[in-house]
Chain A
């Protein structure tokens, strides 16, 4: 297996692992947050505006970890610096 193939295999496997593992925790966290917010709205319907707004901001915070993983996975797949380097070295 030459260098470029090795980098390609490692990148693809790592990208898959990154998004798979990295989305577990945010998914659990967001599920818990939504469940709590629903319970809170059921108890206090008057405060639903505040709860919803806080929920959205919190969800965005939690989700950003998953987004980081997604960005890293995309960089590995589409804009991999090592891959480019190997290609230019093979070409030149």
Chain B
């Protein structure tokens, strides 16, 4: 089924070296080594190397997006969310290299990433507002929402994993099917479309992770204590960002 889990390169002790494992580590080494190479000699002057410029544009764009999505200073979240985005984007974009299978087309990788988000949400929440205040999130808007909040926490993690896996895996499966049906030209278009999907999915994964973290750290923005208005409930809900931004836009215009 064209899965990177099924392609095994060799055996390292008890560990089967599947393509997922090998390409994940190769990708991490590439990213770390590349970043080290570029940031080794940073210039603060007017003249930049092309690579430093690239990294600055990337980091700056991620910071802007985090600031807009969470409406908080981006610095605490930049390492986590930025790493997620860069890793997934690089993993998906490298799919144009023949012989490379994106590790994100394996459910194991995407589950690991989703679990990282699942753990990061309470960590950021507790770090920002303390243990009790974070736990009180689960009791909002009322006590009866407790089970649904817990179910939501788990199901959105599963959704995060399966969404990324399904999108990337379907791209490679469809490409393989088309290759046997119409070998000329059409697979190239599908491949291009796959690159676009890979980029969009990386963006969506990072933004959703940020939205989840923001919803766990957002209680202080409302100003008052537990639920003194509609605004705060909306802030706490995970889909609240459109609302918050919508009202901000309304404020600018009116």
Q: Could you tell me which A residues sit within 8 Å of B by CB distance?
A: 44, 46-47, 50, 53-54, 56-58, 60, 63-64, 67-68, 70-71, 74, 78-79
Contacts and interface: CB of A to CB of B under 8 A. Distances in A.
Nearest 3 pairs between A and B by C-beta? A67-B166, A60-B204, A64-B163
B162 A67 contact: yes
Given A57-B208, A60-B208, 11 more contacts: A53-B69, A54-B245, A56-B203, A57-B204, A60-B163, A64-B163, A67-B166, A67-B167, A74-B170, A78-B1, A79-B1
Contact of A50 (B1, B68, B162, B253): B68
B204 A56 contact: yes
A54 B170 contact: no
23 contacts: A44-B249, A46-B249, A50-B68, A54-B241, A54-B245, A56-B200, A56-B203, A57-B207, A60-B201, A60-B208, A64-B159, A67-B162, A67-B163, A67-B166, A67-B167, A68-B162, A71-B162, A71-B166, A74-B1, A74-B169, A74-B170, A78-B1, A79-B1
Nearest to B163: A64
A37 to B, nearest CB: 11
Interface of A is mostly: helix
Contacts, number: 52
In this complex, which of B65, B203, B241, B242 has the most chain A Cβ atoms within 10 angstroms of its Cβ? B242
A18 B207 CA distance: 29
A74 B174 CA distance: 11
Nearest to A75: B1
Contacts of B163: 60, 63-64, 67
Nearest to B166: A67
Contacts of A50: 68, 245, 249
Nearest to B159: A64
B207 A71 contact: no
Interface string B200-220: 110110011001000000000
B173 interface: yes
B134 interface: no
Nearest to A67: B166
B85 interface: no
Contacts of A71: 162, 165-166, 169
A71 B170 CA distance: 8
Given A67-B162, A67-B167, A67-B170, A57 B211 contact: yes
A75 B201 CA distance: 22
B41 to A, nearest CB: 34
Contact of A70 (B170, B200, B203): B170
Nearest to B69: A53
A63 B167 CA distance: 10
A78 to B, nearest CB: 5
B241 to A, nearest CB: 7
A42 to B, nearest CB: 15
A82 B244 CA distance: 48
Contacts of A58: 242
B157 to A, nearest CB: 12
A12 to B, nearest CB: 15
A33 B137 CA distance: 30
